[in-house]
Amino acid sequence: MENKQTKKYDSIETELRTILFSGEYKPGDKLPSENELAARFSVSRQTVRKALESLEREGYIYAVHGSGRFVSELMLHRKQSKNIAVVMTYLSDYIFPKVISGIDSVLSENGYDIILKHTNNSRHGEIACLEELMQKDIDGIIIEPSKSNMYCKHTELFEKLEAYEIPYVFIQGEYEAMTEKPHVLLDDEKGSFLLTEHLLKEGHKNIYGIFKSDDSQGQKRHNGYARALAEAGVPYDPQKVIWFYTEDRRVHPVTGIKRIIESGKPIDAVVCYNDQIARHVIRAIRETGRKVPEDISVTGYDNSASEQIDGQRLTTVVHPQEELGRLAAEMLLKIIKGEETTLRVVIDPKLIEGNTTAPK
């Protein structure tokens, strides 16, 4: 008798699961009552209840006391949509279009469409994007974390993505609390080390650094700068480091470097967080009457082709923008397909010598 009842319960659970997966009910829809389902399947209410409780434990439905049972958002992501969300800090400027192009080249080749979102490097923006995307029909997310050097207070959203079985891959930055998650990164510490080492080999000693404080790339590039100085036996001086936040990136580096030059402090060279900052710094140096590289050498980071300054080519580090995007897309597709893949890819940087640096 028990075996017969078990088979009946299993059969009802299978039928209910088929109905849910068919799309007959959407997330948030109310299911028929236990009595209605019992009548529909010609079984007892107790058998229906057991089947519903099983689906509830698996997260496909949820109960609201006094109101009944409803389809959960988990069902939204149980079928393949061929949509991948790409969440970047910015979309249209600097290196980001090429990163997105690399992602798109892989996804489009595999029949996927991109849903593009941007956060303006804002935590609130990132939270809003994730909450919105969990309401959409998507198969996965590639995300550049916002202000990644700050403590991530919304890890529960990523846990929710995992509960919904939506895989995600971080690109370009990482939260300290989530380093074990899938990542595709450039070795930012090594890149900045190479730039600082290059300046040291050219005889520069009074080397200043300008770094972004609210993302992990800035912290790692600072670490590479400090390590190169230490290995060369040059004392690290925190007074020679200018930190800036996303919001003051257009003002603080420029005013900071002008203040140092005008104070008369010795300055041979500047290691900049990226090519954009280097462009502003070079113009600020020229406004003080100094020349680059004759008086002060300057390095960038990212090898952004648009960041040539009045005919000068920056000494910088290659940022393989499209490759980074391609690798992230390939990793995500392998995770979606259940294939084996390396969950942490770190690209080796390469220095490019331009004419914004010269021997002292």
CATH numbers and ranges of domains, the chain: 2-76 (1.10.10.10), 83-187+321-347 (3.40.50.2300), 189-319 (3.40.50.2300)
Q: How far apart are CA 321 and CA 168, in angstroms?
A: 19
35 phi/psi in degrees, rounded to 5: -65, -45
From first to last of the 360 residues of the chain, give the pLDDT tens digit: 445 555 677 888 888 888 887 778 888 899 999 999 999 999 999 999 999 998 888 788 999 988 999 988 777 666 678 999 999 999 887 789 999 999 999 999 999 999 999 999 999 999 999 999 988 889 999 999 999 999 999 999 999 899 888 999 999 999 999 999 999 999 999 999 999 999 999 999 999 999 999 999 999 999 999 999 999 999 999 999 999 999 999 999 999 999 999 999 999 999 999 999 999 999 999 999 999 999 999 999 999 866 567 779 999 999 899 999 999 999 999 999 999 999 999 999 999 999 999 998
CA–CA–CA angle 95, 345, 106 (5° rounding): 60
- Across 166-187, b (16+ Cβ under 10 Å) vs e yields bbbbbbbbbbeebeebbbbbbb
For residues 277-292, b (16+ Cβ closer than 10 Å) or e, as one string? bbbbbbebbeeeeeeb
Residue whose tokens read 């949820």: 62
Which residue type, as a one-letter code, is found at position 261? I
Report yes or no: 226 and 200 within 8 Å, Cβ to Cβ. no
Record the pTM.
0.81
Annotate the chain with three-state secondary structure: CHHHHHHHHHHHHHHHHHHHHHCCCCCCCECCCHHHHHHHHCCCHHHHHHHHHHHHHCCCEEEECCCEEEECHHHHHCCCCCEEEEEECCCCCCCHHHHHHHHHHHHHHCCCEEEEEECCCCHHHHHHHHHHHCCCCCCEEEECCCCCCCCCCCHHHHHHHHHCCCCEEEECCCCHHHCCCCEEEECHHHHHHHHHHHHHHCCCCCEEEEEECCCHHHHHHHHHHHHHHHHCCCCCCHHHEEEECHHHCCCHHHHHHHHHHHHCCCCCEEEECCHHHHHHHHHHHHHCCCCCCCCCEEECCECCHHHCECCECCEEEECCHHHHHHHHHHHHHHHHHCCCCCCEEEECCCEECCCCCCCC
pLDDT at 2: 45
| Omega before residue 293 within 30° of 0, cis | yes
Q: How far apart are CA 253 and CA 212, in angstroms?
A: 10
Quote the crossing angle between the two packed helices 45-57 and 34-41, to the nearest 10°.
110
Are the C-beta atoms of 315 and 354 separated by less than 8 Å?
yes
